Amino acid sequence: MVVDNLTVHSFQLPVNMDPGHISVEIYEPSKVKAALTIAHGAGTNMHHSFLKSLSQEFARHDIMTVRFNFPYMEKGRKMPDRYPVASKAIRAVLEEIHQRYPHLPLFAGGKSFGGRMSSQTLAETPLSYIHGVVFFGFPLHPANQPSLNRADHLNDVAVPMLFLQGTRDALADNDLIYQVCERLPLATLIRIEGADHSFNKGKAAILQSLCSHTVDWLKRTLIANG
């Protein structure tokens, strides 16, 4: 399907685990400079309005996005997959996109749970064709329970990381997320003033700001990598 110079590819990707496939949707603009996977958060799916709007905004900047369902959402369940299952799905999607677009710079990323599962995957199994990771709200700790445990694996991520964090994010204390990024030489922290974990400021999602910061970072990262 082609809409306003944007081609949408929707398909079922076979995976060697229950339910045997996961839904994938690619938003491909007419000119593509890079690709970014956007794994969904724990309480949503790939069709959440925020993620679809984010993909449309990225397309205006010539960035192709890839959204997909984790297996638990594909099966209509509420309990998020444990890491081994989520990681297997992420690797399957990344490998599929790399095979389809072998010469396109590919970045991994996601909203909250999806971003954390993506970075854990790359920390455990580095993929040479991944240029970086984008977190749309890294869930550093449970709501209003500050801790650093979820950040331990970030030390093993060998590619640049972009943290987009709302200053009112109950899942990432401002001081703690700053400490995490300060100790990671490959991390960049962008604070979205007044935004919560869902990137709402009042009633409006801050899509343009998220996209512009991300696109600038993608360009700098690709230039730095030669």
Convert the pLDDT of each residue in 104-163 to its tens digit.
999 999 999 999 999 999 999 999 999 999 999 999 999 989 999 999 999 999 999 999
Give the single-character DSSP code of 125.
Answer: S
Both structure tokens of 28: 């491909």
Both structure tokens of 9: 């590819």
Of the pLDDT bands very low, low, confident and very high (cuts 50, 70, 90), residue 13 is very high
Of the pLDDT bands very low, low, confident and very high (cuts 50, 70, 90), residue 3 is low
For 131-179, the three-class secondary structure string (H helix, E strand, C coil) is EEEEEECCCCCCCCCCCCHHHHHHHHCCCCEEEEEECCCCCCCHHHHHH
Q: Quick count: other Cβ atoms within 10 Å of Cβ 143? A: 9
Backbone φ/ψ region at 103: left (φ over 0), alpha (ψ -120 to 50), beta: alpha
Q: Which residue bears the tokens 């899509």?
A: 207
Residues near 104 by Cβ (< 8 Å), separated by ≥ 6? 32, 34, 35, 64
Is residue 34 scored above 70 in pLDDT?
yes
User: SS3 of 1, please?
Assistant: coil
Angle 219-137-77 (CA atoms, 0-180°, nearest 5)?
120
- Residue range 2-224, CATH number: 3.40.50.1820
Q: What pLDDT, in 10s, does the model give residues 184-221?
A: 999 999 999 999 999 987 666 789 999 999 999 999 99
Task: Count Cα neighbours of 167 within 13 Å in the Cβ-side half-sphere.
Answer: 6
> What mean pLDDT value characterizes the chain?
95
